[in-house]
């Protein structure tokens, strides 16, 4: 999946769960994710880490729907 497609889907939906070729899964949000198309890197900033993801390694993107969280 092209990095530009992932960026367009995230902008349209607001939240995606992506899977990389290595099998890693990341939950991307508009407010904490940036795309560097020159370096082909997706940067995800979390409260505890900064992840630099190979932008062209995304194999699957899933639209994440809101839901009630049970205690």
Tell me the chain's radius of gyration from C-alpha atoms: 12
Cβ(49)–Cβ(8) below 8 Å: no
Q: What is the pLDDT of residue 8?
A: 96
Residue 17 corresponds to which tokens in the numbers above? 């769960």
Q: What is the pLDDT of residue 65?
A: 81
Print the SS3 string covering 31-43: HHEEEECCCCEEE
Q: Please determine, for residue 71, whether its predicted confidence score (pLDDT) is greater than 90.
A: no
H-assigned helices in the chain: 3-13
Domains with residue ranges and CATH for the chain: 3-63 (2.30.30.100)
pLDDT digits (tens, 9 = 90+) for 38-70: 999 999 999 999 999 999 999 999 998 877 788
């Amino acid at each position: 999946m092209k990095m530009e497609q992932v960026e367009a889907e995230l902008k349209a939906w607001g939240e995606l769960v992506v899977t990389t070729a290595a099998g890693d899964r990341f939950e991307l949000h508009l407010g904490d994710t940036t795309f560097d198309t020159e370096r082909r890197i997706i940067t995800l900033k979390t409260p505890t880490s900064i992840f630099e993801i190979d932008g062209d390694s995304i194999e699957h993107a899933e639209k994440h729907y809101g839901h009630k969280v049970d205690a």
